[in-house]
A = this chain, B = another copy of it.
Amino acid sequence: MIDILDRVRNTALHAKIVSAEEAAAFIKPNMNVGTSGFTPAGYPKAVPLALAKRMEKEPFQINLWTGASVGKELDGALAKVHGIKRRMPYQTNKDLRAQINNGEVQYCDLHLSESAQLARYGYMGGKIDVAIVEACAITEDGNIIPTTSMGNAASYVQTADVVIVEVNTSQPIELEGMHDVYVPLDPPHRLPIPVVKPNDHIGTPYIPCGLDKIKYIVACDIKDDVRPFGEIDENSHKISQYIIDLFHKEVKEGRLPANLLPIQSGVGNVANAVISGFVDSDFTDLSVYTEVIQDGMFDLIDAGKLSFASGTSLSPSPTGLDRFYNNIKKYRKKLLLRPQEIANSPEVARRIGIIAMNTAIECDIYGNVNSTHIMGTKMMNGIGGSGDFARNAYLTCFFTASTAKDGLISSIVPMCSHIDHTEHDVDIIVTEQGLADLRGLSPRERARVIIENCAHPDYKPMLMDYFERADKATKHAHTPHLLKEALSWHERFVETGTMKQ
């Protein structure tokens, strides 16, 4: 049993240790509440659960600002009691998603690199009233040692008048030293972010806070609500192979160094498969500059192939989390967590030349990508960091299985029903059917390559037919479309349950 008193190193702070209920009582209706947490890692748990309990009896709402998605104890518990009025910048919770898509919650879907500064600038509707931050420990000076994520916690602590710290004793104290906290000044005083390689340390190992700002300290021992990964399926494996082959070609043709450039890889099963693909490849001395560190990274370290990985969140599967905790002294030498403003920084991404790999919901034949909406109307999760990386990467790849819903949906469509990444930002599209290299091509050239290489055989003739009729009807316009038909595949799916004719 770990004693919270050991983790609160200044004994003067011990008087501020209260129950979760007492801390939650501080939160008033319509407050802007900024919390730690990025993917279900490092978010506060005890205070939100107590808050949800209070809201159940005494219904009211808050505006919730986080780093990204958070676990069931925060988004889940508050959504269940209809306690969220406004939410930014990203979420993945089922109940919350339903409320975003029924008009109940006003969701502001933001580039993750921008969310902290938009909060600091006062663009999100006032300032932060209270920051709730999960900590491993609080230092003698009242500074906060974060846990498994950095997210926007440092900015929220800086901006808030009042800070509530949840000291989570389920988080190992060996996390201390794994963080590099740097909050840029705001314009016109901002200076270059001095990161030039993934292992550069530019800040402090704690969130600067100070004794006075901490109002309450709450003990918590609930573990991060991390999610298991699925088995790597055949499609993910094929996508991974196409990408590895591309990298071999790029190295051979002198466009990439032998150890590539820092890799950014999105969240989920395909992303995990791609990282696993590297484990089985002959690439060595790889580096990673990404948002989320998952199980594959431990495999890369064990295989001796990873020089360093920097992210903003450690969010492995449950078995991966155990593996990390059990080998933390080994893994921590190769891993670092930064604020998402730095992990996702366009400045750093362009400078160090990351290779960006993210998942698309659908791509159109001209190379536009939809990352957020189902059939143009319903929000899935959000854009997350994909835009930060896609726009600024050295090489930008999007991948998706060529179909969804057992083949009833084609992921390659005439026109995306929502666009998050424009034709200007996409170099490579990969499905289990193959890889389309769009670099330097005009839209009409892209269409042929995407249809030929990436579309599922069930949809390839339909797509080529659309393109050729549009090309003819517009007399070979720059971007041929039949406006009447451009979204008809989505209409058909909504009406008939399949995109097939």
Residues of chain A touching chain B, judged by Cβ–Cβ distance below 8 Å, are 86, 88, 100-104, 106-111, 118, 121-125, 184, 186-188, 190-194, 196-197, 253-255, 257, 261-262, 346-347, 350-353, 368, 373, 375-379, 383, 387, 391-392, 394, 417-425, 427, 439-442, 444-445, 470-471, 474-481, 483-484, 486-488, 490-491, 494
Contacts A124-B439, A476-B102 known; A481 to B192 CB distance under 8 Å? no
- A-B pairs with beta carbons under 8 Å apart, 18 shown: A101-B477, A103-B476, A108-B440, A108-B442, A111-B424, A118-B439, A121-B255, A188-B352, A190-B350, A192-B194, A192-B347, A368-B419, A377-B477, A378-B474, A378-B479, A417-B483, A419-B422, A487-B487
Q: How far is the CA of A347 from the CA of B352 in the complex (A)?
A: 12
Given contacts A261-B187, A483-B490, contact A442 B106 (CB under 8 A): yes
Known A-B contacts A379-B479, A478-B378; the reply to A107 vs B442 at CB < 8 A is yes
Which residue, of A101, A379, A439, A479, has the highest number of chain B Cβ atoms within 10 A? A479
8 Å CB contact of A440 from B125, B192, B350, B378? B125
What is the CA–CA distance of A149 and B478 in the complex, to the nearest angstrom?
28
Interchain nearest-CB distance for A475 vs B (Å): 6
Chain multiplicity (copies): 2
Chain B residues with CB under 8 A of A124: 439-440
How far does the Cβ of A191 sit from chain B's closest Cβ, in whole Å? 6
Pick from B88, B108, B351: contact of A192, CB under 8 Å: B351
Select from chain B the residue with minimum beta-carbon distance to A391: B391
Task: Give chain B nearest CB distance to A347 CB in angstroms.
Answer: 4
Cα A481 to Cα B376 in complex, Å, equals: 7
Q: Which of A118, A350, A483, A491 has most chain B Cβ within 10 Å?
A: A483
- Cβ of A341 to closest chain B Cβ, rounded Å: 10
Q: Contact between A484 and B479 (Cβ–Cβ < 8 Å)? A: no
Using Cβ atoms and an 8 Å threshold, which residues of chain B touch A376?
479, 481, 483, 486
**Beyond A102-B476, A106-B444: 4 further Cβ-contacts under 8 Å?**
A101-B476, A106-B445, A121-B394, A379-B479
Q: Note all chain B residues with C-beta closer than 8 A to A392.
A: 346
- Bound CA–CA A272/B102 (angstroms): 43
Nearest opposing residue in chain B for A125, CB measure: B440
List the B side residues contacting A470 at CB < 8 Å.
377
Tell me the smallest distance from the CB of A187 to a CB of chain B, in Å: 2
CB pair B483–A491 under 8 Å, yes or no, is yes
**Chain B residue with minimal CB distance to A261?**
B187
Residues of B within 8 A of A253 (CB): 122
